[in-house]
Every structure is written in C-alpha cells, then in structure tokens.
Amino acid sequence: MPNYEVCGTIKTILEPKTFASGFTKREFVLQTEDDYPQTVLIGCVKQKCALLDSMAPNDRVRVTFQLRGREYQGRYFVNLEAAEIEKMGADGSSVAMDDAPLPSDDDPMPF
C-alpha cells in the first residue's frame, strides 16, 4: 500500500485508548499547510503510538501515513494511519530528535 505525506502543525494530541483485545490507538489533530488548510484527525496504532511521545501541540511536523478504509453495516469509513512523524524546523528542514551533543574535534575517543 502506498504512503502519503502531509506537513502541518499539531493542534491536539489525544490520550491513548486501549481496547479489551489489547489493541492500542492514539490520535492527534493536524492543521495542514495547504492553500486551504484542513484540520484532520490522524491515528497511530500499536507500537506507532510511541511516535507521539516526543511531540507537543504547536510542533510543526511531516507525517507519512497510509489510507485505511472499511465497510461496516453499509457505511464506509476512512482512517489516516501514521507510519512516521518527523519534527520540522521553521525553514522546512527536519529537526534531529536526539538531544545528544555532537562530538568535538578534541574528543579523545576515536569512535
């Protein structure tokens, strides 16, 4: 299944939901950066819920997602399921998620 991509600002991150089957889902609301901005609900399932742990409202992000659809009792539903979430800088560049300092040239460790 192909992946799609959208950039925008996180408006809200909802609390995780765990169902009796053990299935976990967490959703967030994204305001897109299109000519006509849209407010969309995107979900994270299972281990992908952890992608939202380092995110906060007002973070600018790039979301890679898949379209998921299903039919239930004659009605059709579409979900956007996040595969990756990447913070972005003001200039549109990716922001490193690791806060570890970069090694300096005078570091005695060669690796």
Structure tokens at 109: 């460790």
Can you give the pLDDT at residue 101? Answer: 43
Can you give the pLDDT at residue 106? Answer: 52
Can you give the pLDDT at residue 103? Answer: 44
4-87 homologous superfamily:
Nucleic acid-binding proteins (2.40.50.140)
Q: Where are the domains of the chain?
A: 4-87
Instruction: Classify strands 39-45 and 24-32 as parallel, antiparallel or unpaired.
Output: antiparallel
Contact 43, 27 (CB under 8 A): yes
Can you give the pLDDT at residue 96? Answer: 57
Can you give the pLDDT at residue 30? Answer: 98
Can you give the pLDDT at residue 74? Answer: 97
Could you give the CA distance from residue 41 to residue 8 in angstroms, rounded to a whole number?
A: 12
Can you give the pLDDT at residue 2? Answer: 83
Neighbours of 108 (CB within 10 A): 4
Can you give the pLDDT at residue 14? Answer: 96
- Which residues in the chain land under pLDDT 50? 97-105, 107, 109-111
Q: Which residue has the tokens 């849209």?
A: 38
Instruction: Classify strands 17-18 and 60-72 as parallel, antiparallel or unpaired.
Output: unpaired
78-81 long-range CB contacts below 8 Å, 24 or more apart?
A: 79/43, 80/40, 80/41, 80/42, 80/43, 81/42, 81/43, 81/44, 81/45, 81/48
Distance from CA of residue 70 to its chain's centroid?
Answer: 22
